Amino acid sequence: MIGRQGSRRLVLALDKAAKAAGIRPGTPVSKAQALVPGLLVEDMDTAGDARALQQLAFHFLRIYAPIVAADPPDGLVLDTAGADHLHGNETLMLSGMVNRLHAAGFAARAAIADSWGAAHALARFSREAISIVPPGGQRAAISGLPLAALRLEERIVSGLKVLGFRSIGELAEAPRAPLTLRFGPELVRRLSQALGEIGEPIEPVRVAELVEVRRAFPEPIAAAETIARYSQKLVIGLCAALERRGLGARRVDLVLHRVDSGLQAVRAGTSRPVRDVKQLVRLLTDRIDTIDPGFGIEMMVLTATHTEPLVAAQARSSLLEEGRADIADTVDVILNRGHKVYRYAAVASDVPERSLASVAALAPEDTLGWPGHWPRPVRLFARPEPIETLALLPDHPPRYFLWKGVRHNVRRADGPERVFGEWWKRDREKAAVRDYFMVENESGERFWIFRSGDGEHAETGSQGWFIHGVFA
C-alpha cells in the first residue's frame, strides 16, 4: 500500500513477502519496484481505513472493554480494568482478541501494561506477538525497545541517535532537563507516559444508537455509598429506556469521569437479556469497591453496550403448574466475580471422551442425549488410564486388574460393549475398536474398563487394558 508524502510516493504498508524482499514502510515506491519487479501496489484508502478502525473499536467496545479508543492509523487502545474479570484472565482475554482478529483476516499484535505508551510500544516493537507486563513492570519491559516505540517525531529520533541513544532504557537513565531544553517538552512527555509516570487521557468511542443515561454533578462525589446511590438512579433510567425499545441488557458499562480527566469503569454482564433494576444494581454495586474516585467524580455514564430483544413474560399461576427455579441471577453474580459457571452437554460422538462438552450454564437445552442402551459412569476420566489385567478369552472380562498399585478382583461383570473408532474423522481409527466392560470388585465398587482392540487383530488397537470411569 502506497501514499504520498509531499511529492514523494512511499510504501506505507506491506505484507510478509515484501518485507522479506527488503522493503520497509517509508521505502520509496521506485526503490521497492526495483527490488521486486512486478510488485503489486495500491493507493492506500486512508479515509476508508479510518472508518474500518472506528467500526472495529465499536465491536471491541461491545465485547471486551467499556473504554475503547482508536489509536490511528492501525491500532486500538482499551482500558480493560473494569472488564477483564468477565474473560477469565488477561492472558485468555488478550489471546482471544488476537485470535478473533486473525480469524477475520487481520494481522494482529497485542500487549497489556499499566500505561498506554508501554502497551503501544510493546504491541508494535516487541519480538513477541502477545505481551503481558506485570503491574509496575513497564520500565523493564520497554527498556530494550528502540526510540521509535515512544511515538516521537522522526526528527527527534534522529537527533537522539546522533547523541548516541539507541534504546528507551538508555534514554530513561539520562537527565530530563537537558533533553527538554534541546528537543522540547514532547520527548519527556512521551517518555513519562510510557513509564507510567504521568497519565494519558483516553477519548473513548461512543455509539449513537446505544442506550445510554448520564448524570453530571455540580460538586464532585467520591464516597462509595454516594456512587452506589447514583448508580441505582442511573439503572432505573436505563431500564426505562430499554423497556421503551423492547430491549434487555446483556452487558452494561458504568463509566465515571474524574475531575482530573481520568476515567474509571465497571462492566457487568448477564447470561440473558434483562432490564430488572434490582439485578443490574446488584451486579454493578458488587464491583464499586474497585473504583478509584481520585479527587472526585464529576459525571457518571451508564451504557447498555450489548442489548437483545426482550419481551415481557406472561405471569403463570402457581396453582396450575409448578414453576422452575430461576438460577440466572445467581449465575450472573458468580460470573461477574470472575468465576466460571458451566454445565456438560452431550455431543454426537461414539467415543466416550468426545461425547460431552462444557457449555454455558444457561445455554438452551439440546435434544441430543447420551446412549441409553448401556449405562455410563458418573465420573468419566478425561483420559483413560492404563491398568494391568488377566483376561482368559478375548470377549471375556478380566479376572482382576491392577490400578494405581491396588489389585481389584472382579466379582461381577457386564459386557462387552463394542465402540468403534470415528473413521470418518480420523484415518488412524478406521479399524480401531474398544470393548468396554462394567466390572464390580469384591468391595462392591464398580468400574468402567476397556480393551483397546478386539483381542486378536493388531490393527484394531494396542490390546492393552484401560480404566475410563467409575460408577456410583
433 and 466 belong to one structural domain: yes
The whole-number average pLDDT for the span 326-350 is 79
| CATH code (residue 33) | 3.40.1170
Is residue 283 pLDDT above 60, yes or no?
Answer: yes
The answer as to whether 30 is a domain residue is yes
Averaged pLDDT for residues 35-56:
90
305 and 215 together in one domain:
yes
Asked if 297 and 224 touch (Cβ cutoff 8 Å), the reply is no
User: Is the domain of 289 the same as that of 231?
Assistant: yes
Summarised one tens digit per residue, pLDDT across range 130-179 is 999 999 999 999 999 999 999 999 899 999 999 999 999 999 999 999 99
- 180 and 221 part of one domain: no
Q: What is the CATH number of the domain that holds 242?
A: 3.30.1490.100
Angle, helix 154-162 to helix 176-183, in steps of 10 degrees = 130
pLDDT on residue 179: 93
Distance CA 141, CA 137 (A): 6
In a domain, 403, yes or no: yes
Whole-model pTM: value is 0.68
Mean pLDDT, range 289-293, rounded to an integer:
91
Residue 312 pLDDT exceeds 70: no
Q: Is the pLDDT of residue 324 over 70?
A: no
Cβ neighbours of residue 304 closer than 8 Å, sequence gap 6 or more: 210, 211, 212, 238, 242, 247, 249, 251, 252
Pairing of strands 110-112, 130-132: parallel
Q: Is residue 227 part of a domain?
A: yes
Residues 181 and 256 in one domain: no
On whether residue 266 sits in a domain, the answer given is: yes
Q: Are residues 187 and 230 in the same domain?
A: no
From CA 450, how far away is CA 420, in angstroms rounded? 12
Q: Are 356 and 377 in contact (CB under 8 A)?
A: no
Q: Do both 224 and 184 map to the same domain? A: no
Is the peptide bond between 73 and the residue preceding it cis, with omega within 30 degrees of 0?
yes
Q: Given its phi and psi angles, is residue 137 left (phi above 0), alpha (psi -120 to 50 degrees) or beta?
A: alpha
Tally of domains within the chain: 4
Q: What is the pLDDT of residue 363?
A: 74
Are 216 and 167 within one domain? no
For residue 332, tell me if it sits in a domain.
no
Angle, nearest 10°, between helix axes 224-245 and 277-285? 140
Which CA distances in Å does 20 have to 28, 109, 268?
A: 16, 19, 45
Q: In the predicted model, what is the mean pLDDT of residues 331-359? A: 80
Run of H or E residues at 45: none
Q: Give the CA distances from residue 113 to residues 151, 179, 266, in Å, rounded to whole numbers and listed in that order.
A: 16, 26, 19
Domain membership of residue 272 (yes or no) is: yes
**Domain limits at 420?**
379-470
CA–CA separation, 325 vs 321, rounded Å? 13
* For residue 296, pLDDT beyond 70: yes
Co-location of 234 and 183 in the same domain: no
Backbone region of residue 6 per phi and psi (left: phi > 0; alpha: psi in -120 to 50; beta: other values): left
Considering 162, 194, 226, which residue would you say is the last residue of a domain? 194
Asked whether residue 372 carries a pLDDT value surpassing 70, the answer given is no
Average pLDDT, the chain: 89
Q: At residue 255, does pLDDT exceed 80?
A: yes
pLDDT digit string, tens, across residues 162-173: 999 999 999 999
**Is residue 81 in some structural domain?**
no
pLDDT category at 256 given cuts 50, 70, 90 is very high
Determine contact, residues 193/151, Cβ cutoff 8 Å.
no
Q: Name the amino acid, one letter, at 152.
A: L
Asked whether the beta carbons of 25 and 154 are under 8 A apart, the reply is no
**CA gap 420, 426 in Å, rounded:** 12
Least confidently predicted of 50-59, 76-85, 231-240:
76-85
Given 145, 161, 194, the domain boundary residue is 194
Angstrom distances, CA of residue 400 to CA of 314, 341, 385, 441, 465: 60, 39, 16, 8, 11
Q: Which of 309, 331, 358 is the last residue of a domain?
A: 309
Q: Are 398 and 418 in contact (CB under 8 A)?
A: no
- 472 confidence band (pLDDT: 50, 70, 90): confident
Angle at 74 between CA 6 and CA 108, to 5 degrees: 140
pLDDT tens digit sequence for 10-45? 998 888 888 888 998 889 999 999 999 889 889 988
Whole-number pLDDT of residue 261: 87
Tell me: do 156 and 226 sit in the same domain.
no
Q: Are residues 159 and 227 located together in one domain of the fold?
A: no
Which amino acid, 90?
E
- Phi and psi at 462, nearest 5°, equal -75, -15
For residue 83, being part of any structural domain is answered with no
Q: In this structure, are 261 and 183 located in the same domain?
A: no
CATH of the domain at 132: 1.10.150
